[in-house]
Amino acid sequence: MISTIDELRARLAEVRAAAPGSRVALISTIGSLHDGHIDLVHRAREVADIVVVSVFVNPLRFASPADFAAYPRTPEDDARLLASLGVDVVFAPERDELLPDGSATTKVSAGDLGLRYEGRFRPFYFDGLLTVEAKLFHLVRPDVAVYGERDRQRVFLVRRMIRDLFFDVEVATVETVRGDDGLPVSTRVGMLEDRDLAAAALLPAALDAAAANADRGIDACIAAAQSTLMGEPRIRLEYLSVVDPVTFLPVDEGTSGPALALIAATVAGHRLIDNAEIYLG
């Protein structure tokens, strides 16, 4: 696992020289890898010849030093998993390597949209995410970046950053990997105790209810989702929104066509997000 920028540049030069004209895919992670990341690597293999995975617990994405410190770190397990998948380059820098000035670093702004939905509850999150993503694009120079669709707002904002800052990078996505209970596979879901999983499973059930009632309009769609969650004290709903997938802005009543339902809630102190494509009638 490469830990310095100099090592990264040398390794990338080596693999590119060994396979001239090869396409490079980048998967950026904050570690604690799971089955969803395996699908990202498989997708990267489909769209590129060389796969680079970054493992960096980005402090700019966390609300407080305590949250940052509490995030699970499994570097040995991550290394074994990525080696078993045949990843070509693993970049796992220390904090000071990517953020030499700490939180005082020059930042990329996600703009007004970065303060909606997830950004309303974590106003620092997307600026921190895009800042490190831009650094990785600059260092790796990937042809394609691969993301999971569980965080659709992230994907939207990365695409917009690529457009606005003229990065020559394509975006490939992978459908959300779900367990038998419908929950997205994620590090935070994996931190839930068994007694909390049944409550958390109501979140994808609420999205299913929204989709089933989407032909009746936005109000009926949201009401059906909310009714699914009623009476479950373990869930603290943070937002439930229906947005235009092209602009990521809320849709108006009377809108018809494809839309995206977004949901976020806290269960047993863990923030969970999910989304579903719906069709408004």
For position 119, what pLDDT does the model report? 94
Closest by CA position to 72, among listed 192, 178, 172, 182? 192
For position 102, what pLDDT does the model report? 83
* pLDDT tens per residue across all 281 residues of the chain: 899 999 999 999 999 999 999 999 999 999 999 989 999 999 999 999 999 999 999 999 887 888 888 888 999 999 999 999 999 999 999 999 999 988 778 999 999 999 999 999 998 899 999 999 999 999 999 999 999 999 999 999 999 999 999 999 999 999 999 999 999 999 889 889 988 999 999 999 999 999 999 999 999 999 999 999 999 999 999 999 999 999 999 999 889 999 999 999 999 989 999 999 999 98
For position 156, what pLDDT does the model report? 98
Catalytic member of 37, 42, 138, 270: 37
Specify the pairing of strand 170-174 against strand 144-148: parallel
For position 63, what pLDDT does the model report? 78
pTM: 0.94
CATH numbers and ranges of domains, the chain: 5-174 (3.40.50.620), 187-280 (3.30.1300.10)
Phi, psi of 14 (to 5 degrees): -65, -50
139 C-beta neighbours (distance < 10 Å), count? 18
For position 68, what pLDDT does the model report? 87
Closest by CA position to 218, among listed 245, 255, 248? 255
* Residue 34 annotated as catalytic: no
For position 127, what pLDDT does the model report? 96
